[in-house]
Amino acid sequence: MQKLQKDTLIGICAQMASHSWSDAEINELVDPQLGIITGFQDLLNELEQLRKIDLGTTPPAMSVQGANPND
Amino acid sequence: MTDNIAFKDVRSLKQLISGGQITPAELVDVFAERIDRHNAVSKAFITPTIEAAKRQAAGLSRDELGESPFAGVPYASKDLFDVQGVLTTAGSRVFHDRVAKSDAYAVAKLRAAHAISLGKTNLHEFAYGATGENEFYGTCVNAYDPTRLAGGSSSGSAAAVAFGLVPAALGTDTGGSVRAPAALNGLVGLKPTIGRVPTSGVVPYCWTLDHVGLMTRTIADCADLLRIVAGYDSSDPASVNRPVDNYSDALGQDVSSLRIGIPKNFYYERADDEILAALESVKEYLVVAGAILVPVALPDMEHSRTVSLTVQMPEALSAHSAYVQQRGDLYGADFRAGLALGQCILAEHYVKAKRFVEVYRQETNKLFDDVDLILTPATPEIAQKVGTVKVARNGVNEAIGNAITRYTTFFNMTGHPALTMPCAMHSEGLPIGLQLVGRYFDEMTVLRAAHAIERSGRFSIPLPSLGL
């Protein structure tokens, strides 16, 4: 996976169905300064690791009803 | 006199009311005066509703005052909860004109219990973020040190109780937003089992991780409040239709023979030494009191923060899609950046994250075959200075929002009930908290152990001097 470029995000937002994001907001994804979110590059790196983990037939989480064997 | 009353727990206030030593109307006056005195510093309330509170208090009959443990007692709710006829700002300019047409489920239950709403409390905009910083309504500060953060996102609810402006408050908890600020402010914070308290009438942040949470001074008040707001609402898809326990039955019991899991991984790593030492003291007490400590291995946490974020941001963007288009310029910078991140997460990533959540649920649930509870620190750090961006610990720099919620986020994904409570004071004069996690819908055991710890008297902390 190549390193994320700011221009890539600008392209995605311009060329795919997307809300309009300002230059500052795209900058925050590439170089976070607000102390809230993980940098998008870091997130992508983690997501790439997650993608490679085989979860078999595990479905997405839904309600906790019925999930409790102690009931 | 009024300051002493303001820091009493709900059960003590009820005794004063029952004994004729104070009326609900006089109680409202006490807290209204304190809000007037402390809100400029604490920034706890966005919309106090004092006049409505006075009218309600004046109209309560003696019979009504006997109907519930909260009858005649003021409380506050995070400004995500709808209260009929009152603004629900969600801490944002986006909702500057949104007047609620009806009560949120929990608010309606409290209204039926004759509790008195004193108003709506501040928060991180739309509950996005654990620092509680809010560029429009101000940043809530810590009652123990006003140069420090109250923490968030239920920052105003925590500050309101910690400053003695109300004895209890409602918040929401998507990654620790009740438990973490409660811990940082020396309060009890409970995130019940997902589905135990309906989220109907609460502005959503992330539908599948949002929980209604409670903040109180004591475990008994927490048990009483949970009994009132727990229930079922078919309009909330996560709501679970099962009987509500009488949680006060959990009070006064000991912890003998309780099996308490102590995580071998993640939860006792990279934390303030004094926090770890405080937890050791709690463990020692539990053993002496007859509990059995069992080392447990929680699921691999390496990716848990990423999994949570990958669920949160696309859901938040979806929830806000219409508003972003209509009023996008009214959002704060940090939340808009988060929503932009949600825009760039692929659908496969979201579904994979949801599958990880299911793995976390199944693996954590298995742990409860061998233990009754899990004990962890509430937070790895004490309240940090206002304006802090990153926290350094053991050579790792971590965004402050991630650090505040590092020990709480996981249990929003699994949905297990989790409670934080104070257990020590740090040498810097700030509270340290612990976290107890229980089986699905077994808030009783969580409250049982928490009350035993509280009742032991070994872990009580002083009131904040600033709030007096």
Per-residue pLDDT tens digits of chain B, which is 468 residues long: 577 899 999 999 999 999 999 999 999 999 999 999 999 999 999 999 999 999 999 999 999 999 999 999 999 999 999 999 999 999 999 999 999 999 999 999 999 999 999 999 999 999 998 999 999 999 999 999 999 999 999 999 999 999 999 999 999 999 999 999 999 999 999 999 999 999 999 999 999 999 999 999 999 999 999 999 999 999 999 999 999 999 999 999 999 999 999 999 999 999 999 999 999 999 999 999 999 999 999 999 888 989 999 999 999 999 999 999 999 999 988 888 889 989 989 999 999 999 999 999 999 999 999 999 999 999 999 999 999 989 999 999 988 988 999 999 999 999 999 999 999 999 999 999 999 999 999 999 999 999 999 999 999 999 998 755
d(CA B49, CA B88): 12
Peptide bond into B153 cis (omega under 30): yes
Token pair belonging to B257:
């023979």
Count A/B contacts: CB-CB distance under 8 Å.
146
Q: Predicted confidence band at A66 (pLDDT cuts at 50, 70, 90)?
A: very low
Amino acid A67: pLDDT: 44
Question: Rounded to whole angstroms, how far apart are CA atoms B142 and B155?
Answer: 9
Among partner residues A28, A35, A71, which is closest to B399 by beta-carbon distance?
Answer: A35
CB contact under 8 Å between B356 and A19, yes or no, is no
Name the residue among A18, A35, A43 with its Cβ closest to that of B306: A43
DSSP string, B155-190: HHHHHHHHTTS-SEEEEEESSSTTHHHHHHTT-EEE
Measured between CA atoms, how close is B464 to chain A, in angstroms?
28
Closest to A22 in 3D by CA, of B318, B333, B313, B128 = B333
What are the structural domains of chain B? 2-300+355-455 (3.90.1300.10)
Which residues lie closer than 8 Å to B250 by C-beta, 6 or more apart? B223, B443, B444, B445, B447, B448, B451
For A38-49, what is the mean pLDDT? 85
**Mean local confidence (pLDDT), A46-59:** 93
Q: Please give, rounded to a whole number of angstroms, the shortest distance from the CA of A11 to a CA of chain B.
A: 11
- Which chain A residues contact residue B400 at CB under 8 A? 35
Could you give the count of Cα atoms lying within 13 Å of B159 in the half-sphere of its Cβ?
A: 37
Q: What is the pLDDT of residue A68?
A: 47
Separation CA B417–CA B442 (nearest Å): 7
User: In this complex, is the C-beta atom of B264 within 8 Å of any C-beta atom belonging to chain A?
Assistant: no
Cβ–Cβ below 8 Å for B400 and A59: no
Query: Per-residue confidence at A17, pLDDT binned at 50, 70, 90?
Result: confident
| B 412-431 → A contacts, CB under 8 A | 413, 415
| B333 to B140, B381, B468: CA distances (angstroms) | 18, 26, 35
Q: Which two tokens stand for residue A22?
A: 């300002």
| CA A65 from centroid of its chain's CA atoms | 28
- Residues of chain A with Cβ-Cβ distance to B437 below 8 Å are none
- SS3 sequence, B87-110? ECCCCCHHHCCCECCCCCHHHHHH
pLDDT at res. A65: 59
Average pLDDT on A25-35 reads 77
Residues 6+ apart with CB under 8 A from B40: none
Instruction: Supply the pLDDT for residue B215.
Output: 98
Do B54 and B35 form a contact (C-beta atoms < 8 A)?
Answer: no
Residues of chain B contacting A46 with CB distance shorter than 8 Å: 303, 306
- Kindly indicate the confidence band of residue A70, based on its pLDDT and cuts at 50, 70 and 90: very low
- Please say if the pLDDT value at position A35 is more than 90: no
- Strands B141-142 and B145-149, bridge-based pairing: antiparallel
B208 in contact with A, Cβ within 8 Å = yes
As for the ipTM of the complex, it is: 0.87
For residue B46, which of B103, B106, B123, B105 has the smallest C-alpha distance?
Answer: B123
Distance of CA B218 to the CA centre of its chain: 13
Q: Which of A50, A53, A62 to mutate to test the interface with B (most CBs of B within 10 A)?
A: A50
Burial of B356 (0-12, 13-18, 19+ CB in 10 A): buried
